[in-house]
Amino acid sequence: MVLDGVGDRPHPATGNLSPVEAARTPHLDSLIDRGQVGQVVVIGPGVAPESDAGVFALLGYDPVNDSPGRGVLEALGVEIPLQPGDVALRLNFATIAGDGRVLDARVGRSLSTHESTELAKALTSADLLKDRGIRAEVRATVGHRGVLWLHPTEGGALSPQISNVDPFYEKVGGMGQARRPEDPMVRPSVPLDETAEARRTADALNLFLERAGPVLAGQRVNARRAITGKKIASGLLVRNAGSLPARPPVQFASAWGVAGAALTEMPVERGIARVLGLEDRYVGPMTGDRDAGYAERAKVARELLSRFPFVYVHLKGPDEPGHDGDAVRKQEIVEAIDRSFFGPFLEGLDLEHARVAVTADHATPCVIKGHSDDPVPFVLAGAGVPRVMGGGGVKFGESAAARGSLGTRRGSEVLSLLFHPPGR
């Protein structure tokens, strides 16, 4: 189970505890009592990974060399029919000032999927790179998120070897790494190698973004938002360009010798499942009643576990309040996950014949409102895992993780420990 962005730091709004340690988590605590706890440095010291990079590491892959890039994963997650020579990028609708300063990278997190879809259709219909022999399509996904798909119609293949425009993320091979710029300004994309293809792609991307601004400014979506006092989607932040790899990553079943399934909520994790050959059960983002949603996810996870020897579950919930700096809401979401996901998931589960690992793809501390390289909790319990704690009373959270018997591990070790527990 990957609890997206669950790692955190002490916060005044949660009694100077982290939101995780302030949360009531009896079911996660019971797993510690029945197994072991430690902490995970997901990629390495100084690296604050994006979710896709963190998940690749947790599944035993090298996110720099094995991942096709966030753009490709997002595109696969929404079934964009990428072709060789195409380039795909992750996209955020954002509120950007006239001088290029990023005022809000997520449009106040209030842009609905319906609104972003309307904006995406307008940008696609404008065909902004037709004169450059490139079809530029924007596909909205969830809320402020989307994909920019560049498909060459003449002039040969495009290249993913271009830098990010989004100032909050750095591209390192196929991996995205979070940044915290002091002055967040939109950056022009530049080629990362000396090929004509990379130069053409970077130039085309910069031109597309320049032309996109007036299109967005003229949309009724933004007019309606401005009238009601909401932030407007005045620009685009794009990052982590990728293309279909000439040699896809080794399939999960071949790498680990077991078939697997994935329960995912967001397109990027769905894309990971597809590129690694995991059976995909996409439940979509949380809507409506949070407790009912987590209970349904627990039911789906148990059903998958009845059919597959390995199941990867990704729950997005804790990450968003981390980005928003809302420690109280993050505490509430962690409690809901414990109560309504882990409660029913663990009910009747025979831990003499199943093993469970719980960790995170990265930390998203509320005090910094972004991803960090902080270690994240890691719990391992079930069949063949020696009970170290026993007796109860250990609280799931960063403090117990830091002093736990599993010690400090790298993300790439997690699956090996799940399949071959220490001391087994």
β-pair partners for 175: 172
Report the pLDDT value the prediction gives residue 424, as an integer from 0 to 100.
Answer: 57
pLDDT at 141 over 70: yes
Q: What is the DSSP letter of 132?
A: G
Residue 424 domain-assigned (yes or no) = no
Residues 166 and 228 in one domain: yes
Phi and psi of 318, rounded to 5°? -70, -20
Q: Yes or no: say if 91 and 138 are a contact pair by the CB < 8 Å rule.
A: yes
Could you read off the pLDDT of 186-238 as tens digits, one per residue?
A: 999 999 999 999 999 999 999 999 999 999 999 999 999 999 999 999 999 99
Residue 116 domain-assigned (yes or no) = yes
Residues 234 and 116 in one domain: yes
Q: Yes or no: say if 31 and 358 are a contact pair by the CB < 8 Å rule.
A: yes
Residue given tokens 């029919």 in the structure block:
81
Q: How far apart are CA 148 and CA 371, in angstroms?
A: 23
Neighbours of 188 (CB within 10 A): 13
Residues 273 and 345 in one domain: yes
The alpha carbon of residue 30 and the mean position of all alpha carbons in its chain are separated, in whole angstroms, by: 27
**Domain count of the chain?**
2
Residue given tokens 């090996």 in the structure block:
416
Could you read off the pLDDT of 268-297 as tens digits, one per residue?
A: 999 999 999 999 999 999 988 999 999 999
Higher local confidence (pLDDT), 288 or 367? 367
Six token digits for residue 324:
């928003």
Asked whether the whole model's pTM tops 0.85, one would answer yes
Residues 142 and 113 in one domain: yes
| Helix, strand or coil, per DSSP, at residue 281 | strand
Residues 84 and 43 in one domain: no
Residue 94 domain-assigned (yes or no) = yes
- Give which of 106, 102, 278, 125 is closest to 183, Cα–Cα: 102
**In 102-228, alpha helices (H):** 113-126, 196-217, 220-227
Residues 414 and 271 in one domain: yes
- Give which of 149, 146, 157, 249 is closest to 196, Cα–Cα: 157
Concatenated DSSP letters for 54-119? Answer: HHHHHTT--TTTT---HHHHHHHHTT----TT-EEEEEEEEEE-TTSBEEETTGGGT--HHHHHHH
Report the pLDDT value the prediction gives residue 67, as an integer from 0 to 100.
Answer: 93
pLDDT band at 390 (very low <50, low <70, confident <90, very high): low
Residue 31 domain-assigned (yes or no) = yes
What's the chain's length in residues?
424
Residues 359 and 397 in one domain: yes
Residues 235 and 253 in one domain: no
Six token digits for residue 406:
């599993």
Could you read off the pLDDT of 160-181 as tens digits, one per residue?
A: 999 999 999 999 888 888 888 9
The alpha carbon of residue 47 and the mean position of all alpha carbons in its chain are separated, in whole angstroms, by: 15
CATH code for position 30: 3.40.720.10
Residues 198 and 119 in one domain: yes
| Helix, strand or coil, per DSSP, at residue 287 | coil
Residue 131 domain-assigned (yes or no) = yes
Residues 268 and 399 in one domain: yes
Report the pLDDT value the prediction gives residue 389, as an integer from 0 to 100.
Answer: 64
- Give which of 419, 418, 424 is closest to 38, Cα–Cα: 418
Six token digits for residue 268:
């990027």
Last residue of a domain, one of 183, 216, 242: 242
Q: How far apart are CA 315 and CA 358, in angstroms?
A: 11
The alpha carbon of residue 21 and the mean position of all alpha carbons in its chain are separated, in whole angstroms, by: 23
- Give which of 417, 407, 345 is closest to 31, Cα–Cα: 345
- What's the domain range around 321? 2-67+249-419
Residues 39 and 131 in one domain: no
Residue given tokens 């620009």 in the structure block:
235
pLDDT at 308 over 70: yes
